[in-house]
Structure 1
Amino acid sequence: MWQTGYLLGVLLVVCCVVAEMGVYVDIEEGRVLGKTIEFTEEEFANVSAKINTFKGIPYAEKPMRFSKPMPKQNWTEVFDATEFGHSCPQLIIPEFQGAVPYETDEDCLALNVYAPNQTEQKLPVMVFIHGGGYTTGSSMTPSFSGDEAASGNYGLLDQALALQWVRRNIEAFGGNSSMVTIFGESAGGSSVDMHVVSKGSHGLFDQAITESGQAVAFWNIREEFEMKKRQFAFQLGKLVNCSTTDSTELVECLRLVDAMVLEQTVAMNLIHMGPTIDGHFIDDYPRAITNRGEFKHCPMMIGFNRDEGSLVTKSLTTISGFTADLLEDAVKQEYVDWADAETPGYNYFHTIVSVYGDDEFSCPAILTARAHAMMTSQPVYLYHFTHVPEWSIFEINGTGPGWLGAGHAEEIPFVFGYPFLPELDGYHGPMTDEEKELSVKLIKYWTHFAWTGHPSSIMINGNITDGMNMTMDYMDPAEGMGMEDTMETNVTMEMIHELAWLPFTVPELYFKELGLMSHIKRGLKSDECAFWDGFKLDLQSYLVSMDQTELEWREEFEDWQDDLDDWRMSYQKYTQSPYCG
């Protein structure tokens, strides 16, 4: 049964109102008014529940642009939390116009809270951070000048302040402030992982789930962008008539520029934005922090989708980002199936999807899972989402590319229960009964992780290769987290693969393949990630050393030429001297 106590499960009820009434909650800042709604889905989820919903609760004052957020001051009147707050300023994506309400304002730091209408026990809390490449969905924040005038990471600091609010106030809504799981997708997943590697956030949550986004990914904090962040900031200033050489003057001027003008200028000029090494919230490259094991040691779920690279193929015409032909040739050697490469119609599309997906998503996820498995005593669970949906999340009103596969963000509708929201059929399309069952399964995995620190209600005792001598313990967290049933015989491999989820450990390397049929497998992307995290980095270092050697040789050669020129001039003077010969 789908437990109604799972906080994630109640996120899907927004559009399924049967009846509603007002509900009041007192938090530290004041009283808030929300709504109690009813949700019923008996065929697949087998749930009927009353849900308290609170929308747009501010956790910060209206932010001063390019500054750290300030906590919301107390209010005396009842705050009406029955309508969503503003989205942060951002460019409207034409494909999603109408799918998301784009009423934007810089006063956008607010939370939506969904909680079962019950008081029997304190429930675990799940806080979702959405994706959007640090540019859409929520307000973008350029790295900026990198000094005290504008050190950056304001978006991450906004999130940290929101997590502080959750710790202070969530028990008023029936949540357990000591059981907070943060989860996110894409840049949201990377944001979650940034909180895992930031010592400043370690006390603000207890568990983490990253979907298709890791702090160690090279697109998150890139060395070449770190070296140029001051250049990016002053470049933006020149483009919006804020030319100056002083950081403080630059920030003061940019605060007066219309927010949408800034958004458009950043987008049109491809100015980099995102997290940065500010010396406070993030004090080193996330990959270095991860390699040292200096991250929060907590239970984690980490995963990615099979065709992560398909979403960006429109903008890719070559394998770019490589500084030498030798490195590009190495990538081709690793990924091209040379047995069929000369066959007419060879699927180079699949090749480039794999190259981009592995480099940017798959291997950063596995690298992170390895670090947590080897350096902590806390469990880490790895998943690989492989289901190709009937309708892609990027097909709006039936229009879409049709070839994205199990692409980036395609798991989101299943995690959030879109199949049970008929009001969204025009956006994601009708889903099959099998997909509705998949959605229930993923909701159970995610919420069970929030309850217990592991995603499956089935615990395996024994060797996975010897099913008949294993036991499976079924645990129902809503029943006091005790064992409800134990099956000691006739444990089939099919039951194990579908119901259980083994932790990722080294050298076992177990992971869960998530699809209409789920399986336990091992060694996900082992060859590919050995290339990206081993051979490629070694080759890059070798090429850098070659460049350095060539540079040193050129400098020595130029010095030798200068010495030779001096000798020639001296010799010429000598031969022209009357004392010569």
Structure 2
Amino acid sequence: MYRLRFALFLLLLSSTIATAKPTGLNYLLDACQVLTSSGIVQGHVASWPENTSVFEFLGIPFAQPPLGQLRFAAPQAYQQDTSSVFVADKCILDITVGEYLTKFQTDSWIRRDCMQYTGSASQNVSAQVAAYGYGMGGGNATDPHSYSEDCLTVNVWAKPTGQKNKAVMVWIYGGAFSAGTSNAPFYNGALLAEDEDVIVNLGLLDQRLAVEWVRDNIAGFGGDASRITLFGESAGGSSVDYYSYAWTEDPIVTGFIAESGTAFILHATNESDYSGWYNISEALGCGGEEVGEQTIQCVRDVNATALMNAVGQQASGGISTTFGPVADGKVVFADVKNRSAAGDFIQRPLFVGNNDNELGLILALGDSLFGGGNPGNLSTPDLIKFGSAAEFVCPAALTAKDRAVNGVPTWRYRYMGVWNNTALVPGMGAYHSSEIPFVFGTNELRPNSTTDTPEEANLAKIMVHAWAEFAKDPQNGLNGLNWPQYNPNGTTLIRLGYNNQSEPNIGNGTDYDGLCSILGP
């Protein structure tokens, strides 16, 4: 499986604001420097929001570059003389949103993505679709991404004011385990750090090593290593859930937020199925099954661009490739459904949910985004309905039920907001990933975006606050907002953006789970 860049949104959260600078950013604060196991990292005042007091540290290496013998190998912790200084860009003071977008387009400090197959997206898309793609880190014709295998880095956003020992949020982005980037305006953690006084993180073994880096270094940024919440969306949400099964003996994290993704959403391939690998090794002239493990060294020696071209030739369509989670019995388990029912997971609080019309994204991007698979030859409305239920609704329902039945504090949400300035085409509803700008409060970073409605802006504030409150106190934070813990037999589903209302509305999960008895997770 290819590595995805992991960006640390070290959103340092605290419940009160103070004016004095604590010792959190404890190493030469005036020079934007913090001492870490990766050396002294030098950050800068965040580029956005305007007049922020947040510092950002971009591209800090947490693992050795996966080059040469480390390609297709377990990650190794980054080794650096702690007296050396890693410059995570220069200090930037006052900057407007427009200037921020320009800087985002032109500067190199946030544009180095991991090698990945990007598909062949159509250039004939609407301005809104293009803006959505850019916001999610897709780049554009005038702003192409650069790719490198040297990409195992973290981004940190932290505010030097406020409480000491702030809660920490670690973000894992999505991308079907094949693509994705932390270089996305919608994933900017500065507002969470500014308004909610938290520390946030972006970016299966690579992710674990990044979490260990956070545990070992977050105190230097003012964070509390005993309060780390792992959150992610789509494949990132699945990664969050996979983590909860893999590291039961040494959890590190204290809470989980899984948005539109669980361990059930993407079905792990069997450990004995090497066909995808051998198809690629043969395409690269390294032989196939007949030479077995010898293919590994050969592929390690192949030029990265040639490797990506070979991956693209084997792609199933859209962003999907033959690489993905493999049930190895150590990090990913084939019997995850049984483990879920038995409570064999990290029993820490969970906030899980999905969007109202996940596969409505097909209406804007085409079903090729998901590989064009439609074995039942369903109409588009039925494909959206059944696909959304099978891949998102039912897995979230089962995950929430099993956690609740096993006595784990659990909350389940359903995002339902439909807004004119976020709709990509008419009729697509609350589509896959449309909640992300509301979680991060980054809607204004959408290029050419119109002003949010009052209800939309207020909902974003509520969601930013709720996600942060969960991270500050996973056991009780959402109780303080009067959001009910999930009961599969009760009216406890938290509906966000219901009828475009800004205030949460409580419904019954069974109203949306009708297809689950047929489809299963």
Q: Which interval holds the TM-score relative to the shorter structure?
A: 0.7 to 0.9
TM-score of the superposition, structure 2-length normalised? 0.74
> For the aligned residues, what is the CA RMSD?
3.1
1:528 positional shift:
1.8
1:248 to 289, 293, 298: 293
1:50 positional shift:
0.9
Please give the alpha-carbon distance, in whole angstroms, between the structure 2 residues aligned to 1:66 and 1:447.
35
Aligned letter for 2:73? S
Please give the alpha-carbon distance, in whole angstroms, between the structure 2 residues aligned to 1:440 and 1:131.
23
Cα 1:262–1:440, aligned 2, differ >3 Å: closer, same or farther?
same
CA-to-partner distance for each residue in 1:377-432, whole Å, 9 max, x for gaps?
A: x210000001113233xx7xxxx44442200000011111113x4xx242655432
Alignment map for 1:295-314 (pairs within 5 Å):
295-312=345-362, 314=366
Check the 8 A contact 1:91/1:260 in 2, yes or no.
no
Please give the alpha-carbon distance, in whole angstroms, between the structure 2 residues aligned to 1:230 and 1:40.
47
1:27 positional shift:
1.5
Cα 1:105–1:372, aligned 2, differ >3 Å: closer, same or farther?
same
Unaligned runs of 5+ in 1: 9-19, 42-47, 140-154, 323-327, 333-347, 460-498, 538-581
Aligned to 1:512, the other structure's residue is in SS state strand
1:190 positional shift:
0.4
Check the 8 A contact 2:117/2:311 in 1, yes or no.
no
CA-to-partner distance for each residue in 1:159-207, whole Å, 9 max, x for gaps?
A: 0000000010001100000000000000000011100111368423110
1:158 aligns with 2:200: no
Alignment map for 1:287-436 (pairs within 5 Å):
287-312=337-362, 314-315=366-367, 320-321=374-375, 349-376=380-407, 378-392=408-422, 400-419=424-443, 421=444, 424-426=445-447, 428-436=449-457
Alignment map for 1:222-261 (pairs within 5 Å):
225-226=269-270, 229-244=273-288, 245-261=290-306
Q: How many residues align?
A: 425
| 252-261 vs 360-369, greater mean Cα deviation | 252-261
Aligned letter for 1:73? Q
1:437 positional shift:
1.3
Please give the alpha-carbon distance, in whole angstroms, between the structure 2 residues aligned to 1:290 and 1:458.
24
1:73 to 58, 76, 79: 79
1:501 positional shift:
0.9
1:252 positional shift:
0.7
Which residue of structure 2 aligns with residue 59 of structure 1? 62
1:84 to 110, 116, 138: 110
Aligned to 1:426, the other structure's residue is in SS state coil
1:106 aligns with 2:158: no
Which residue of structure 1 aligns with residue 8 of structure 2? none
Unaligned runs of 5+ in 2: 1-10, 16-28, 90-108, 122-129, 183-202
Aligned to 2:399, the other structure's residue is in SS state helix
More helix by share: 1
1:260 positional shift:
2.9
TM-score of the superposition, structure 1-length normalised? 0.67
Cα 1:427–1:195, aligned 2, differ >3 Å: closer, same or farther?
farther
Please give the alpha-carbon distance, in whole angstroms, between the structure 1 residues aligned to 2:224 and 2:339.
30
1:273 positional shift:
1.5
Which residue of structure 1 aligns with residue 42 of structure 2? 33
Cα 1:259–1:389, aligned 2, differ >3 Å: closer, same or farther?
farther
Check the 8 A contact 1:54/1:114 in 2, yes or no.
yes
Aligned to 1:163, the other structure's residue is in SS state helix
Aligned letter for 2:42? L
Check the 8 A contact 1:389/1:410 in 2, yes or no.
no
Which residue of structure 2 aligns with residue 195 of structure 1? 243
Check the 8 A contact 1:444/1:455 in 2, yes or no.
no
Cα 1:120–1:353, aligned 2, differ >3 Å: closer, same or farther?
closer
Please give the alpha-carbon distance, in whole angstroms, between the structure 2 residues aligned to 1:90 and 1:220.
20
2:489 to 507, 531, 535: 507
1:228 positional shift:
6.2
1:49 positional shift:
4.7
Aligned to 2:514, the other structure's residue is in SS state helix
Cα 1:227–1:52, aligned 2, differ >3 Å: closer, same or farther?
closer
Cα 1:506–1:202, aligned 2, differ >3 Å: closer, same or farther?
farther
Aligned letter for 1:351? D
Aligned letter for 1:23? C
Aligned to 1:526, the other structure's residue is in SS state coil
Please give the alpha-carbon distance, in whole angstroms, between the structure 2 residues aligned to 1:161 and 1:101.
29
Alignment map for 1:488-499 (pairs within 5 Å):
none
Please give the alpha-carbon distance, in whole angstroms, between the structure 1 residues aligned to 2:389 and 2:250.
29
Check the 8 A contact 2:374/2:383 in 1, yes or no.
no
Please give the alpha-carbon distance, in whole angstroms, between the structure 2 residues aligned to 1:123 and 1:354.
41
Aligned letter for 2:75? P
Cα 1:427–1:208, aligned 2, differ >3 Å: closer, same or farther?
farther
Which residue of structure 2 aligns with residue 527 of structure 1? 514
Check the 8 A contact 2:14/2:162 in 1, yes or no.
no
Check the 8 A contact 1:242/1:253 in 2, yes or no.
yes
Aligned letter for 2:465? K
Check the 8 A contact 1:85/1:110 in 2, yes or no.
no
Which residue of structure 2 aligns with residue 121 of structure 1? 164
CA-to-partner distance for each residue in 1:348-373, whole Å, 9 max, x for gaps?
A: 54332111000010000000000000
Aligned letter for 1:383? Y
Check the 8 A contact 2:403/2:410 in 1, yes or no.
yes
Please give the alpha-carbon distance, in whole angstroms, between the structure 2 residues aligned to 1:513 and 1:411.
12
Aligned to 2:346, the other structure's residue is in SS state coil
Please give the alpha-carbon distance, in whole angstroms, between the structure 2 residues aligned to 1:53 and 1:67.
30
